[in-house]
Each structure stands twice: as C-alpha cells, then as structure tokens.
Amino acid sequence: MGVTITDNSGAFLARLTEAVDGSGGGLDAATQFLADKMAQSMYTSGAAGIPNDTPTKLQPPSAPGTPPSVKSTGLVGSITNARVGTLRWAAGTNKEYAKIHEFGGVINHPGGTAYIMIDGTKFQPVHNRNAKPWMKRTKPHAINMPARPFMRPALRNNKAALGRVFAARVRQLMNAAGGAA
C-alpha cells in the first residue's frame, strides 16, 4: 500500500513531520510499544511455577538466554523511550548493569562479602551490616554472568508490530489534523 501526497504545502509537511517525529507521534508510539515489550518479557521470565508479577528478592534467577527475572523495579522500571535526534528515537534503559544482562560477561568481585555455610555445603551470603566477626568473608573472585537478553529479543519479536503501531499513529494524527494519509 503506497501513499500519494497531493499537497506539498509547508503546512502539510509540518503536520507530517509532527505526526512522525513529534512527541506522541509515530516514532514515539512505536518506541514506547517496544519499551513496554522489553519490560513485559522480564515479568514473564521467572522460574516455572513461581509468579513473577511482583518484584521480590526471592525470585530466582531466570534461565540463561531468557530475560532477567524481576527482583526489584530498578531495571524494569528504568525501561523507557526517548528522542535521540531528528527522526531518531530509542527504547532502552540508562542502567549500566543492563549491558551485562543483555550480553553476559564477567564481573570481577572485590570480595569482602560476609557469609556462612549451612550444613557445611550451602553458601549463604549475609546481607546486613551487622555481620558477626566470626563470619567468613569472600576473597576477590570472578563471576561469570550468562547473557539474559531482553532488548534484542523484544525488537526481533515485534518488528512487524512496530511498523503497524507507527503507521496507525501517523495515520491517526494526520486524519485528526485534517490531512489525508
């Protein structure tokens, strides 16, 4: 389906530019749709049989290769969209640790985390500041973090829908402004 423009006036071109690139326009709507899909994927990635609709520290890690599960609202709450230039919008997050979730990598931990052993086999970190002096502390070590992508799969799985959201919003705005699209 093509579009034929019969009005080349400056007013028409201004309306079209606003419908495509303005706040609330087609690019804004499409990238907000994508941001929502990124966040939704994190809420559906928890361990089988454990609801992941409420952030909780008890939520186990998601399987490698699946979106990170939601343990707090830090990462999922930071996902948004924004204009990054003329005719350029992006969906994503400003959290630095999102990159290691998306691509995996190695975290060089400095050590010093207090811990106890349960039954001599199960490592249990102690997360309070009042750790007892007799507790052991971890040594510096590397943590291999597997990729748990949530941005790239959301884009890959929703490309067609993004085009539809964009086109519908531009058409809606152009029709509301008295133009034809």
Q: How far apart are CA 12 and CA 73, in angstroms?
A: 43
Short-list 58, 22, 31, 45, CA closest to 148: 45
**Model pLDDT, residue 78:** 96
User: Is residue 89 exposed (0-12), middle (13-18) or buried (19+ Cβ within 10 Å)?
Assistant: buried
**Model pLDDT, residue 117:** 76
The residues spanned by each domain of the chain are: 10-104+146-176
| Token couple for 54 | 């409420």
Q: How far apart are CA 32 and CA 154, in angstroms?
A: 12
Distance of CA 132 to the CA centre of its chain: 38
List, for the chain, all residue ranges whose pLDDT scores fall below the cut of 50.
179-181
Residues counted in the chain: 181
Q: How far apart are CA 83 and CA 25, in angstroms?
A: 11
* H helix runs in the chain, sequence order: 10-21, 26-43, 74-78, 98-103, 151-157, 159-176
Using the structure block, give the residue that is written with the tokens 């490309």.
Answer: 159
**Model pLDDT, residue 181:** 47
**Model pLDDT, residue 93:** 97
